[in-house]
Amino acid sequence: MDEIAEILERELEDAVQVKNKDSLHRYVVLLAKNIVQKSAYDQNMTEFRGDIRILAETMKRGFETIDKRFEAIDKRFEDMYAYMNKRFDAVDKRFEDIYKYMDKRFEDMNKRFTMMFTFMNIGFSILIIITIIFKFLQ
């Protein structure tokens, strides 16, 4: 740093008219202190890039973890969906069985009522015929 300060001070002294050498010296020292050396800059940039790389890897691992959790949640929802479909299918089958049973019961009852009305009609017809024959014979 001191070498840079001396070079800058000599160059400025040669380039411009200096009224106060102490002021020029303070200016050059301040300027030299604030100049970053290339090696220090390269080292800082290397460290910075390393930190960014570590941060990117950490973020990548975090995203992979989140993806795995979402996949697990998706699987749970798919399993739950399959289970609910299975339950609804079972309920549908049960209603179909009840419907078939009730349909059979109504058909059986319909047959009984049809037979009952047929026998009643035959019975009333026989009664009417017997009544007519008795009336006619009298």
pLDDT at 42: 78
pLDDT at 17: 82
pLDDT at 23: 84
State pLDDT tens for residues 59-90.
999 999 999 999 999 999 999 999 999 999 99
**Confidence (pTM):** 0.45
What are the Cα distances from residue 132, in Å, to 5, 122, 128, 136?
149, 15, 6, 6
What are the Cα distances from residue 38, in Å, to 9, 14, 33, 43, 45?
20, 26, 14, 8, 10
Q: Does 102 have pLDDT greater than 90?
A: yes
Q: Sorting pLDDT into bands at 50, 70 and 90, what band is 29?
A: confident
- Supply the DSSP symbol for 18: -
Q: Does 107 have pLDDT greater than 80?
A: yes
